[in-house]
Amino acid sequence: MSLLWNREQLEKATGGKLKTDVAVTGIAINSLELKKGDLFIALQGGRKDAHLFIEKALEAGASCIMADNQKFLKENNLLSHEKILLVKDCIQALTKMASFARENFTGHVLAVTGSVGKTTTKDMLFKALSPYGKTFVSKKSLNNHLGVPLSLIAIPKDATFAVLEVGMNHEGEILPLAKMIQPKIGIITAINKAHAGNMGGEIEIAKEKATLFRTLPASGTALHADFPEIINNIIAQEIPKNVKIFTVGKNLKNNLRIEKATLTSEESSCLLEYQNQSFSLQLSAPGEHLLEDAAIAIASVLALNLEPSKALKAIQQFKPGYGRGEKHLLKKNITLIDETHNASPASVRAALKTLFLQKSSRRIVILGDMLELGDFSQEEHASLLPLLVAEKIVLFCCGTAMKAIFEKLPPELQGGYAPTSEALIQPIQKYLQDGDYLLAKGSHSMRVDKVVQALKNNFSQNQTATEKTQS
């Protein structure tokens, strides 16, 4: 593990004081995930005050503890502990550390946002950029006011590339994060009605996402997928003068064009056309949406003026991660695709299109409500109905919005409905037969992942039969 922070840097960045030299090699805010050498940040305001777990963190080998609850420390005889970095406010100190880390990082920084595809594109960028130098990517979906600074302070000093994810639920959230990150390349993967209930529609979402580009330097690149003209114009208004614009899509006007896509049940491929050059893009996973995300990753390589052959070879081995299309082979030759991390209209349609590629005699989808759609909810849920009918997909679902779809399906496509995901488990297990192909997806709080876990537990083969995500 490389050194992230020492005593002098921590004190300079936070204004706090330590009583001993330290060598921080990782960052943790959860004592259960802490590794030896980590800085444990005792944040307050969550389910529990993290100060309660300071002693556990020390026992687990924490390099030091950043804390701000002086009363707690005094009452528990920790105030004078040599590994306590006492600060006025942990969140403020975290933000200061993030600024310090960014100012001192000399590598290339890329920031990724979008209604869908952020995390997948980020993970593809890790594959694509790693052959050219040490690459850091933010963990999981650390993309908010806490996740972004936590990612920044974890960037190794010797990294060549750092890729950070930027998320939002409401207006005004992107720009502060972009200012903190100061990317050289800003990326927008998609604009659609995810979080439309909070934002009011795609136009408002586009305006918010595009603020990522305001912070780009004159030598930077604003990279985005090709959108309808009205969206492209909104985005263009936020791009500073002299910043390079790089678009990706199927139309001739794009800098990188996606052509001749071939989609099978197991793989995806296409040609990428760029400045009179043609590159073959191949993925060991199905789905047109994955090709689009991969094309953005390759476009980023080109925007960095790197020759793309190494990236094209590396990205071929990409496998979808946990909750984002991870594939599980179960007993009775049953295949389960886990898409339960979250759900928006665009991501559900993309997942269904991938399900349609499968040649199984019975294709089944387990869906939970798509949340945060506001006034668009009924319309967007109803838009799934003709897709299910046309492809003869059997539906198991939970949630009030999905119930309306279920009731309109032909009886032979009505697998089962329940108010909650837990209540779906037993009827789904009874329904399954040899060779079935299942897709599970829903907004995170619908907890469709509980169905996935139950099926994995009850129909699991040996460990080697489950396709594991690659980090």
> In the prediction, which pLDDT does 461 show?
72
Is residue 94 one of the residues assigned to a domain? no
> In the prediction, which pLDDT does 140 show?
82
List, in order, residues 6 or more apart from 217 with CB less than 8 Å away: 182, 184, 243
Tell me: do 258 and 337 sit in the same domain: no
> In the prediction, which pLDDT does 375 show?
86
pLDDT class of 196 with cuts at 50, 70, 90: low
- The two three-digit tokens of residue 351, written as one number: 């997942």
CATH code assigned at 12:
3.40.1390.10
Tell me: do 438 and 370 sit in the same domain: yes
List, in order, residues 6 or more apart from 259 with CB less than 8 Å away: 250, 270, 271, 272, 273
Rounded distance, CA 355 to CA 140, Å?
25
Tell me: do 305 and 377 sit in the same domain: no
Q: What is the mean pLDDT of the chain?
A: 94
- Mean pLDDT score, 463-468: 39
Tell me: do 358 and 416 sit in the same domain: yes
Tell me: do 34 and 160 sit in the same domain: no
pLDDT class of 372 with cuts at 50, 70, 90: confident
Is residue 97 one of the residues assigned to a domain? no
Tell me: do 32 and 149 sit in the same domain: no
**pLDDT single digits (tens) 237-278:** 999 999 999 999 999 999 999 999 999 999 999 999 999 999
> In the prediction, which pLDDT does 468 show?
38
- Among residues 288, 315, 342, which one ends one of the domains? 315
Tell me: do 309 and 357 sit in the same domain: no
Is residue 96 one of the residues assigned to a domain? no
Q: How many domains does the chain have?
A: 3
pLDDT class of 198 with cuts at 50, 70, 90: low
pLDDT class of 164 with cuts at 50, 70, 90: very high
- Among residues 53, 88, 123, which one ends one of the domains? 88
Is residue 271 one of the residues assigned to a domain? yes
List, in order, residues 6 or more apart from 103 with CB less than 8 Å away: none
Tell me: do 457 and 375 sit in the same domain: yes
**pLDDT single digits (tens) 203-240:** 999 999 999 999 999 999 999 999 999 999 999 999 99
CB 459 within 8 A of CB 432: yes
Is residue 321 one of the residues assigned to a domain? no
> In the prediction, which pLDDT does 466 show?
41
List, in order, residues 6 or more apart from 196 with CB less than 8 Å away: 202, 205, 372, 373, 374, 376
pLDDT of 462 > 60? The answer is no
| Reported pTM | 0.91
Tell me: do 261 and 368 sit in the same domain: no
- Among residues 315, 338, 356, which one ends one of the domains? 315
Rounded distance, CA 279 to CA 290, Å?
16
CA–CA distances in Å: residue 261 to residues 10, 33, 282: 50, 41, 10
Rounded distance, CA 120 to CA 378, Å?
28
- Mean pLDDT score, 122-150: 95
State what percent of residues in the chain have pLDDT above 70.
96
State what percent of residues in the chain have pLDDT above 90.
89
CATH code assigned at 293:
3.40.1190.10
CB 162 within 8 A of CB 108: yes
> In the prediction, which pLDDT does 414 show?
98
Tell me: do 262 and 282 sit in the same domain: yes
Sign (positive/negative) of CA torsion 408, 115, 268, 134?
negative
**pLDDT single digits (tens) 296-352:** 999 999 999 999 999 999 999 999 988 999 999 999 999 999 999 999 999 999 999
Tell me: do 284 and 135 sit in the same domain: yes
pLDDT class of 463 with cuts at 50, 70, 90: very low
Rounded distance, CA 124 to CA 122, Å?
5
Least confident range of 141-155, 300-314, 377-391, 451-465: 451-465
Is residue 99 one of the residues assigned to a domain? no
Tell me: do 139 and 78 sit in the same domain: no
Is residue 458 one of the residues assigned to a domain? yes
- Mean pLDDT score, 2-7: 96
The residue type of 49 is: D
CATH code assigned at 432:
3.90.190.20
- Mean pLDDT score, 435-445: 95
Domain of 256 in residue numbering reads as: 105-315
Is residue 377 one of the residues assigned to a domain? yes
Nearest to 184 by CA among 150, 153, 220, 149: 220
- Mean pLDDT score, 3-7: 97
pLDDT class of 465 with cuts at 50, 70, 90: very low
> In the prediction, which pLDDT does 227 show?
95
Sign (positive/negative) of CA torsion 52, 55, 60, 63?
positive
Nearest to 396 by CA among 455, 331, 322, 466: 455
